[in-house]
Chains A and B, each alone.
Chain A
Amino acid sequence: MNRSLYAGVASLALAAGMAQAASHLPFTPGEGDFNWESLEAFAAEHDFDGEEISVFGPWRGDDQQLFETIIAYFEEATGATISYASSESYEQQIVIDTEAGSPPNVAVLPQPGLIANLVSKGFVEPLGEETETWLRENYSAGDSWVSLGSFLGPDGEERLYAFPYKIDVKSLVWYSPDNFDDAGYDIPQTMEELKALNDQIVADGGTPWCIGLGSGGATGWPATDWVEDLLLRTQPPEVYDQWVANEIPFDDPRIVAAIDEFGEFARNDDYVAGGAGAVASIDFRDSPDGLFSSPPQCYMHKQASFIPTFFPEGTELGLDADFFYFPAYAEKDLGKPVLGAGTLAFITKDSPGARAFLEFLKTPIAHELWMAQSGFLTPYGAANVELYGNDALKKQGEILLGATTFRFDGSDLMPAGVGAGSFWTGMVDYTGGKSAADVAAAIQKSWDGLK
């Protein structure tokens, strides 16, 4: 009995070891159009044989596998081992770990608002002027990235603390090209055309939009993207920046107007599948399904670049589903604003290995390796754009580069109590029938409460 138990345990341990040993390098070094020199140069400069670096990030599932391929190259180059960890409640976990004094070496988070909080408590190490200069020089629109990663330290000084790595574009409208062809619709180039298309679809007996705000504990967030995108299309970017910093109050008429602009889409029973009352409770993961049902429940779905993960199985991007840029008003002359999001890496426990990992993120290869797979966009000019893994990514990359204005997701920049709290819940109330002014006033009140 005992022996068989031990034998079982031993064989299990062996199996686990084997699985670990088969760490995969999807692209053989030296092959393809990758910037392998940058990897070699990096490897030559850094040797951390046997050092352990702990990295904590938001990526799980497929994203985790992709990130682990990047890690594998770093390990190959330096001899260090990286233990990557994530968790469903990663925002909470990182707070607990830093507060309790057992942080990872490097953490990656998608919420600058949360990072700001950690920085102000003194849990994050500054990255130094050199990295700041590097970002300015190497990322397109470098200044905006520097300001994104800069926060007020515990001493009240603003410094660069976090390094942006991996970007998502949010200003995308997904549709089924076949359904557009069947009905004879053209892709709208301006907001005016888009609104005309809404009415056209309704006149033809269809429903233009699938909108779902449901997301468990985060219910409401998809609506914040709508409002941000619409604010960028109705007001100059300076208004957006002041709004995010709460220099313009949330219940300013300009912001209220943007919320009502969203209401034009979401609070119109004719415009949304299932009627306006269903918007808040339909799960955002299920809502794009309506594009592909028979007969189609809707023709368009606005969501960030990650959404194809939730399309029905076998949906081929570019063929069964495609996207277009969420257009801007032709008459407002605000250019082509793009809303985006992304993740930022920062050091929570300093070590030479942690520094080296952030150095690694400055090599083109660290970007190219992920670009060539899927779901990764980068503003890093030295990364080879030809390597994007599919046409959809390439097109998103073009939207990113064609942007006259790029702004980071405002709800992520706001204090978490607003951006991940009252803004979400406020939008749910709004779709439930409260007036935009009331909702905005309530959000502003919660923001005041945080000061």
Chain B
Amino acid sequence: MHPAIMGLLTIVIGVGGCIGYFYFSNVFLDKVLYPPTGPNAGRNINRANQIRPWLFLFPALFALGLYLAYPVFATLWLSLTDRDQGGAFVGLANYRQMMSEDKFWEAMRNNMLWLFVVPAMSTAFGLLAAQLTDRISWGNFAKSLIFMPMAISFVGASVIWKLIYDTRPEGTEQIGLLNAIWVGMGGEPQQWLTLIPWNSFLLMIVLIWIQTGFAMVILSAALRGIPEETIEAAIIDGASPMQIFFKIKVPQIMSTIVVVWTTITLVVLKVFDIVLAMTNGQWETQVLANYMYDKLFRSFDWGVGSASAMVIMLLVTPILVWNVINARKEMR
């Protein structure tokens, strides 16, 4: 069977299967298991309602458990064992070894910088783009162009920016945009990617450039969702556009801003393609994800590689806590 036909079939089976599962499991629950009739109607409704969330959640939980949670526990175990010793339990030895490496601390430092700069800048630019493009006739066109980097793979993006940061020897024509401008202003050609500490920021620009489109699309939808009345009321009260934006609109979409910020933060924690392709962590640009990749697939040091993965996952704890608090608040 041709894969394309197989693909179509799968979509039909997959979608049909999903809908069928949700439909029939609900029907089964309501009609067969705990029918809301007869002497126990009240108790049955309660029971059915206790079970129903799990019916809705089951496929997702199953997939998450299998594809993400299980590897996490496997990794946790690997980080505590030594494969060269036949998988013997070594306690925190891998972590100790990792902590003793300068490269790890360099990666930690850089990661903190990334975690602060990239989400902030992407969200800010995204918000700006969303707000401005909503007010003009060619806004959609402008949005598409700003969104375009999202459609380019990380590898493609690295190529684009390598071309921009390219350096040619002095005296020859620069083919990198940045150096062309720099030399045009009278500077000497610079090896941008080796220029500590600016090189880390030059790498961050690549991710900001990609993620701004994401922030813009989500925030734009949220901005459009703001009830007209509140804005009209503000205009009547004589608020300036700036005031309207910062005092009326931003607070109303705060929850969306936080979602966008969180999502980009998580992307930052995982990003390694850009660093790998552009500097491979040289010149003090190492980040944790690339450090982990290096340990896993270059050094085949599964212990330390897994340990650094656990560190990456630990870094997400503040976001985790915040989300728990938030969810509690919503439930009330």
Does A389 belong to the interface (CB within 8 Å)?
no
Chain A residues near B168 (CB, 8 Å)? 274
Bound state CA distance, A117 and B297, in angstroms? 12
Q: Are A216 and B282 in contact (CB under 8 A)?
A: no
Chain A residues near B135 (CB, 8 Å)? none
Does A142 belong to the interface (CB within 8 Å)?
no
A281-B193, A281-B194 in contact; A219/B282 too (CB < 8 A)? yes
Interface of B is mostly: loop
Bound state CA distance, A219 and B170, in angstroms? 22
Which residue of chain B lies nearest to A213 when distances are taken between CB atoms in the complex? B282
Which residue of chain A lies nearest to B158 when distances are taken between CB atoms in the complex? A216
Q: Are B280 and A277 in contact (CB under 8 A)?
A: no
Q: Are B2 and A13 in contact (CB under 8 A)?
A: yes
Chain B residues near A403 (CB, 8 Å)? none
The digit string for A266-278, where 1 denotes a CB below 8 A from any CB of B, is: 0000000111011
B7 CB to nearest A CB, Å: 11
Residue in contact with B279 in the complex, picked from A219, A416, A449, CB distance below 8 Å: A219
Q: Are B277 and A281 in contact (CB under 8 A)?
A: no
Chain A residues near B280 (CB, 8 Å)? 216-219, 425
Which residue of chain A lies nearest to B193 when distances are taken between CB atoms in the complex? A281
Does A162 belong to the interface (CB within 8 Å)?
no
Q: Are B301 and A216 in contact (CB under 8 A)?
A: no
Chain B residues near A450 (CB, 8 Å)? 299, 301
Q: Are A420 and B191 in contact (CB under 8 A)?
A: no
Interface set, chain A 246-279, CB cutoff 8 A to B: 273-275, 277-278
Bound state CA distance, A282 and B280, in angstroms? 14
Does B116 belong to the interface (CB within 8 Å)?
no
Bound state CA distance, A385 and B111, in angstroms? 55
Bound state CA distance, A220 and B283, in angstroms? 12
Chain A interfacial residues counted at CB < 8 A: 33
B126 CB to nearest A CB, Å: 29
Interface set, chain A 134-186, CB cutoff 8 A to B: none
Interface set, chain B 277-320, CB cutoff 8 A to A: 277-283, 294, 297-301
Does B57 belong to the interface (CB within 8 Å)?
no
Q: Are B169 and A273 in contact (CB under 8 A)?
A: yes
Q: Are B300 and A217 in contact (CB under 8 A)?
A: no
Q: Are B299 and A421 in contact (CB under 8 A)?
A: yes
A95-B300, A416-B300 in contact; A428/B282 too (CB < 8 A)? yes
Does B5 belong to the interface (CB within 8 Å)?
yes
Does A224 belong to the interface (CB within 8 Å)?
no
Does A110 belong to the interface (CB within 8 Å)?
no
A95-B300, A278-B167 in contact; A9/B276 too (CB < 8 A)? no
Does A236 belong to the interface (CB within 8 Å)?
no
Chain B residues near A117 (CB, 8 Å)? 300
Q: Are B298 and A420 in contact (CB under 8 A)?
A: yes
Scoring A216, A218, A297, A450 by chain B CB atoms within 10 A of each residue's CB, the highest score goes to: A216
Q: Are A425 and B299 in contact (CB under 8 A)?
A: no
Bound state CA distance, A450 and B281, in angstroms? 20
Residue in contact with B298 in the complex, picked from A216, A277, A281, A421, CB distance below 8 Å: A421
Does B97 belong to the interface (CB within 8 Å)?
yes
Bound state CA distance, A416 and B298, in angstroms? 6
6 inter-chain pairs at a CB distance below 8 angstroms, sorted by A residue, are A217-B276, A277-B191, A278-B191, A290-B169, A420-B298, A425-B280
Which of A's residues lie within 8 Å of B, judged by CB? 9, 13, 89, 91-92, 95, 117, 216-220, 273-275, 277-278, 280-282, 290, 293, 297, 415-417, 420-421, 425, 428, 432, 449-450
